Amino acid sequence: MLLDFDRLGWWKWMLVSITALVTLFLLLPIIFIAALSFGSSQWLIFPPPGWTLRWYEDLFADPRWLQSAWVSAKVAGAVTILSVVLGLLASLSLTRGRFRGREALRALFITPMILPVVVLAVALYAFFLRIGLSGTFVGFVLAHLVLALPFSIISISNALEGFDKSIEDAAILCGASPWEARLRVTLPAISHGLFAAAVFSFLVSWDEVVVAIFMASPTLQTLPVKIWTTLRQDLTPVIAAASTLLVLLTVGLMLLSLLVRKALKR
Amino acid sequence: MAIVADTRGNSAFASMSYWRVSGIGYAVPALLLLLAFFVLPVLALLLRSVLEPEPGLGNYAALLGSTTYLRIFLNTFLVSAVVTVLSVVIGFPVAWTLAIMPRRWAAVVFAVILLSMWTNLLARTYAWMVLLQRTGFINRTLINLGVIDQPLALVNNLTGVTIGMTYIMLPFVILPLRGVIKAIDPAIPQAASVCGATRWQCLTRILIPLALPGVAAGALMVFVMSLGYFVTPALLGGTSNMMLAEMIAQFVQSLVNWGMGGAAAFVLLVVTLAIYALQLRLFGVGRLGQQGN
Amino acid sequence: MTAPFLQIRNIRKQYGDVVAVRDVELDIAKGEFMTFLGPSGSGKSTTLYILAGLQEPTSGDILLEGRTLLDTPSHKRNIGMVFQRYTLFPHLSVGENVAFPLRVRRKPKAEIDATVSRALKLVRLEGFADRMPAKMSGGQQQRVALARALAYDPPVLLMDEPLSALDKKLREEIQFEIKRIHQETGVTILYVTHDQEEALRLSDRIAVFSQGEIDQVGTGTELYAEPRTRFVAEFIGDSDFLKGRVERAGDGRADIRLGNGFMVSAVPTHGDAGPGRDVALMLRPERISLFRAEKPRSLAATVRDVTFLGNNTHVQAETETREQVAIRLPFGHESAAGLQSGNAVWLGFDPSSARAFC
């Protein structure tokens, strides 16, 4: 009854209405910033009195925006590679290893994900000030790597748990060397997990604000830091333009992962 | 890299066990990274809270003895509690609908939820800052509709924080709860109905109790995430309505008081870990969701 | 039989172009144990769900003691139901599960307590009231479900393949329990199953469903002795079929010529068996006699397989027209001695024990 959509009577319409409203609520800010980024009103009046590309021109005319986006991309790229490699190795150990304290190790690997980021941000900031990594590229990568690793390990471990180890053994019996077997049999079989790990790692680093705010120096800042500092000054529509591009990037990544998932299924 | 040999003698592969991944070896790089850049810095910060400016629990006494700080703690708990209740109350019917609605429509709602989750946090918060301001879309719409005469103060206060946080937290309730409801056998509410239960009784006596583990897990997660949230409260809350995470940042950045900052961080850490421990005790592993901040 | 207690009137259920239940018509007497027997997808469960109010019919009516049930929602029909899957409420104890229908009816506590212990006693689970469903075996869970369905004294109890998830031994044990409970309570039971043995063991009458329709209703003996369609003949008991053609027909009987020219006269027929019509001649394996030497009025065949099954011997034979015939000989039957594959045999039968279907 309650779990049969067509037998809910008027409750069905109540539930559908709530869901539609919540969906609109979730969609509202995203549509809103996209519309404002093309609106001509400096004061962000909605609906906009006219349309313009001025904010995008402003955005691309300011080299600091492009610089920070470039820094973000470099940091996120490095984090993605390191996070997938370290995550794969750690996941192999966590899913196939037989040693004492394995569960404790798994818990430790997940902890950065569930702890309040501000604690890690403050702690790392203090630590990096001491060892001279604050405001450096390496510092950014290390900090984001700590945050991205749990996502990578969860994605890859899940994929590895779903992979039948005896297939790898069979490849070895067929004459493949252990590493050859892993490269040619296991890696392709868990490629969806590796892909998910890469996407999550990239997004974690690309969108990360809190640690970045503490770590940023005047000469090295990521895109979220640039947005943050601009936001604290005023609500310029240029941020709407930047945000819209970020939304587009998100949509692109979602479509890409959808396509990759479909391709990998075949 | 140490690779411990597989000691199971009955394995058909015992003879080639020297290369098998049986030990901790491959986890060492990740472990070293976390020890150096996670465990060590956090412990160092906590150490500073009892060492600076002088050894002792002075920082904690100052933190818990001042009405200013206590009000911040209270604000944080209050906002987190309200956000949790709102997320669960709004999220439950959505998760329920999502679990049973026709696949095609569910996919649309699902895509919107994922889009909102994956969109840059600052972009979303910026949108709410604009939407909620005095001359913003929401106030103007309400005035045009004749609901209000004067614009409401929706931002730079705890109302704004609550709206923005609920927006961010809703998916974290909806997605796991949907899974819990989907796992319930539809024959169970059918049986309740044949037994004589009205639709309302089916809901309150069967569906909600059966979904309760999911509700509780989602609620605990939202609550604990809200406690330590930094960006949204800082941007939507304004200077006079600080929350815990922002207070920690202020101690460190503006006041350069590492002792107090460390103490406040430690309080947040303990509360967070305590709630997760409670969740593990209640529901076991596997429900720990994803946190993005 | 008394006036129909429960009437199923022309019930039809259609999903788009697919007809799940096609104009089903059935009267059930008070206190009767009626089984809906048929393969999956034959519409028997759908009919039951319509009775329970969990699905609406496209057309037709259901009358209980002369009043329609269709405008009553399922929770007000006061009908009991046991489902195929385990549907105990997992968050409630056994006692609370049985009490559930009484609680939603807001009965006083004393009455609830008394009824719960009576219902648990009925299914022989006294002392299990505080147990949680997850801690019980499948058989026990279905017995609790039975107690829950009977707790509010429903006039009709519906059971949708309640034992299909259990293993054979347990199934037989609970079949016996169900039969006892039926006798003790006198409740009218509608029971759905695809297991003919279960249907024969439990029911007063059986309605055989095929492709959304009831092919035949009757007692087990009637269905076995007088199947009205080939489907019923195949579904209830074992049967052999031989191809033939009607030579002469009349008065519900026909003379039929089999493939090799062999004539069978005066076979009772079902359907429109006019002369020249192709028919299937049905024989029950235990009604066929087997001879080792040629006999007049018998069918020549070759043994292909002999299987000793304890109380009887199963013989698989092939006729000259390459049709397969199964024969069952009781233990110690003289023809069975030394019989082996390749032996030539002659098969005889009484035409009145055969049936012809168009």
Q: For C244-263, how does the pLDDT look when each residue is reduced to its tens digit (9 = 90+)? A: 989 888 888 888 888 878 88
Q: How many CB pairs under 8 A join A and B?
A: 296
Q: Which residue has the higher pLDDT, B82 or A232?
A: B82
Query: Do residues A23 and A98 both lie within one domain?
Result: no
User: Sign of torsion, CA C207 C210 C215 C221?
Assistant: negative
Q: Is there a contact between C87 and B201 if contact means CB atoms under 8 Å apart?
A: no
Query: Do residues B150 and B131 both lie within one domain?
Result: yes
Query: Do residues B45 and B65 both lie within one domain?
Result: no
- Residue numbers of C between 276 and 315 with CB closer than 8 Å to B: none
Burial of B246 (0-12, 13-18, 19+ CB in 10 A): buried
Taking the CA of residue A95 and the nearest CA in chain B, the distance in Å comes to: 9
Q: Is there a contact between C101 and B195 if contact means CB atoms under 8 Å apart?
A: yes
A54 located within any domain: no
Taking the CA of residue B67 and the nearest CA in chain A, the distance in Å comes to: 23
Give the H/E segment covering residue C7.
Answer: strand C6-15
pLDDT of residue A173: 87
Query: Do residues A31 and A158 both lie within one domain?
Result: no
Question: For B195, which of C54, C73, C104 is closest by C-beta distance?
Answer: C104
- Report whether pLDDT(C152) > 60: yes
Judged by a CB distance cut-off of 8 A, whether residue A3 touches chain C is: no
B288 located within any domain: no
- Report whether pLDDT(B290) > 60: no
Of A89, A64, A81, A70, the closest CA to residue A141 belongs to A81
- Report whether pLDDT(B59) > 50: yes
Mutate to test the interface with C, among B194, B203, B208 (most CBs of C within 10 A): B194
Judged by a CB distance cut-off of 8 A, whether residue A87 touches chain B is: yes
Range of the domain at B29: 1-51
Percent of chain C surpassing pLDDT 70: 99
- Report whether pLDDT(B13) > 70: no
Judged by a CB distance cut-off of 8 A, whether residue A42 touches chain B is: no
A215 located within any domain: yes
Question: Which residues from B are below 8 Å from C87, CB to CB?
Answer: 185, 187-188, 190-191
A70 located within any domain: yes
pLDDT of residue B7: 40
pLDDT of residue B281: 81
Query: Do residues A21 and A71 both lie within one domain?
Result: no
- Report whether pLDDT(B238) > 70: yes
B292 located within any domain: no
Query: Do residues B205 and B254 both lie within one domain?
Result: yes
Judged by a CB distance cut-off of 8 A, whether residue A45 touches chain B is: yes
Question: Which residues from A are below 8 Å from C54, CB to CB?
Answer: 1, 7
- Report whether pLDDT(B19) > 70: no
Query: Do residues A153 and A239 both lie within one domain?
Result: yes
Total domains, chain A: 2
Q: Which of C57-61, C127-131, C298-302 has the lowest mean pLDDT?
A: C298-302
User: A39 with A49: CB under 8 angstroms?
Assistant: yes
Judged by a CB distance cut-off of 8 A, whether residue C209 touches chain B is: no
Query: Do residues B3 and B90 both lie within one domain?
Result: no
Percent of chain A surpassing pLDDT 70: 100
**Whats the size of chain B, residue-wise?**
293
Query: Do residues A168 and A252 both lie within one domain?
Result: yes
Query: Do residues A73 and A166 both lie within one domain?
Result: yes
A113 located within any domain: yes
- Report whether pLDDT(B287) > 80: no
Judged by a CB distance cut-off of 8 A, whether residue A120 touches chain B is: yes
| Backbone φ/ψ region at C156: left (φ over 0), alpha (ψ -120 to 50), beta | beta
A51 located within any domain: no
User: B155 with B132: CB under 8 angstroms?
Assistant: yes
Total domains, chain B: 2
Averaged pLDDT score across all residues of chain C: 91
Mean pLDDT of A21-28: 95
B117 located within any domain: yes
Q: Residue A79, Cα to own-chain centre: how many angstroms?
A: 11
Of B247, B221, B215, the closest CA to residue B234 belongs to B247
Question: Which residues from C are below 8 Å from B198, CB to CB?
Answer: 75, 104
- Which residues neighbour A63 within 8 Å (Cβ) at sequence distance 6 or greater? none
pLDDT of residue C264: 87
A46 located within any domain: no
Query: Do residues A260 and A170 both lie within one domain?
Result: yes
Taking the CA of residue A179 and the nearest CA in chain B, the distance in Å comes to: 9
Query: Do residues B47 and B67 both lie within one domain?
Result: no
Q: Is there a contact between B136 and A113 if contact means CB atoms under 8 Å apart?
A: no
Query: Do residues A156 and A32 both lie within one domain?
Result: no
CATH number at residue A186: 1.10.3720.10
Mean pLDDT of A183-209: 91
- Which residues neighbour A195 within 8 Å (Cβ) at sequence distance 6 or greater? A257, A260, A261, A264
Query: Do residues B28 and B108 both lie within one domain?
Result: no
Q: Which chains touch B (3 or more CB pairs under 8 A)?
A: A, C
- pLDDT bin (cut points 50, 70, 90) of residue C2 is low
Mean pLDDT of A216-225: 91
Question: Which residues from A are below 8 Å from B170, CB to CB?
Answer: 22, 25-26
Range of the domain at A201: 62-265
Judged by a CB distance cut-off of 8 A, whether residue C146 touches chain B is: no
Query: Do residues B135 and B177 both lie within one domain?
Result: yes
What is d(CA C6, CA A257) in angstroms, rounded to the nearest whole number? 57
Query: Do residues A150 and A93 both lie within one domain?
Result: yes
Q: How is the beta sheet containing C80-82 ordered, strand by strand?
A: C80-82, C156-160, C188-193, C33-37, C205-210, C213-218
- pLDDT bin (cut points 50, 70, 90) of residue B284 is low
Judged by a CB distance cut-off of 8 A, whether residue C105 touches chain B is: yes
C5 phi and psi angles, rounded to 5 deg: -85, -45
B72 located within any domain: yes
Question: Which residues from C are below 8 Å from B190, CB to CB?
Answer: 54, 74, 83, 87
- Residue numbers of C between 69 and 88 with CB closer than 8 Å to B: 73-81, 83-85, 87
CATH number at residue B156: 1.10.3720.10
Q: Is there a contact between B198 and C91 if contact means CB atoms under 8 Å apart?
A: no
Query: Do residues A78 and A31 both lie within one domain?
Result: no
Per-residue pLDDT tens for A102-146?
A: 888 998 999 998 899 999 999 999 999 999 998 899 999 999 999
Query: Do residues B84 and B191 both lie within one domain?
Result: yes
Question: For A109, which of B30, B189, B231 is closest by C-beta distance?
Answer: B30
Helix (H, G, I), strand (E, B) or coil at C10: strand
- Residue numbers of B between 49 and 88 with CB closer than 8 Å to A: none
Question: Which residues from C are below 8 Å from A1, CB to CB?
Answer: 54, 74
Which residue from B minimizes the CA distance to A140? Answer: B37
Mean pLDDT of B6-18: 40
Query: Do residues B187 and B136 both lie within one domain?
Result: yes
Question: Which residues from B are below 8 Å from A124, CB to CB?
Answer: 37, 41
Judged by a CB distance cut-off of 8 A, whether residue B184 touches chain C is: no
Query: Do residues B246 and B118 both lie within one domain?
Result: yes
A52 located within any domain: no
Q: Which of C91-100, C251-260, C276-285, C305-314 has the lowest mean pLDDT?
A: C251-260
Mean pLDDT of B233-252: 90
Q: How many CB atoms lie within 10 A of CB C111?
A: 11
- pLDDT bin (cut points 50, 70, 90) of residue C335 is confident
B290 located within any domain: no
Judged by a CB distance cut-off of 8 A, whether residue B13 touches chain A is: yes
B289 located within any domain: no
User: B19 with B225: CB under 8 angstroms?
Assistant: no
Query: Do residues B7 and B118 both lie within one domain?
Result: no
Query: Do residues A29 and A68 both lie within one domain?
Result: no
pLDDT of residue B288: 40
Judged by a CB distance cut-off of 8 A, whether residue B92 touches chain A is: no
Per-residue pLDDT tens for C10-22?
A: 999 999 889 999 9
Query: Do residues B39 and B90 both lie within one domain?
Result: no
Spell out the domains of chain C, with CATH numbers in brackets.
6-233 (3.40.50.300), 239-357 (2.40.50.140)
Q: Is there a contact between C54 and B193 if contact means CB atoms under 8 Å apart?
A: yes
Burial of B147 (0-12, 13-18, 19+ CB in 10 A): exposed
Q: Is the peptide bond before A47 cis (omega within 30 degrees of 0)?
A: yes
**Whats the size of chain C, residue-wise?**
358
Read off the DSSP letter of residue C269.
E
Query: Do residues A108 and A208 both lie within one domain?
Result: yes
Per-residue pLDDT tens for B187-199?
A: 999 999 999 999 9
- pLDDT bin (cut points 50, 70, 90) of residue B22 is low
Q: Which chains touch C (3 or more CB pairs under 8 A)?
A: A, B
Which residue from C minimizes the CA distance to B209? Answer: C91
* ipTM reported for the complex, 2 dp: 0.88
Judged by a CB distance cut-off of 8 A, whether residue C164 touches chain A is: no
Radius of gyration of chain C (CA): 25
A79 located within any domain: yes
What is d(CA A201, CA A84) in angstroms, rounded to the nearest whole number? 8
Judged by a CB distance cut-off of 8 A, whether residue B187 touches chain C is: yes
pLDDT of residue A234: 85
Question: Which residues from A are below 8 Å from B17, CB to CB?
Answer: none
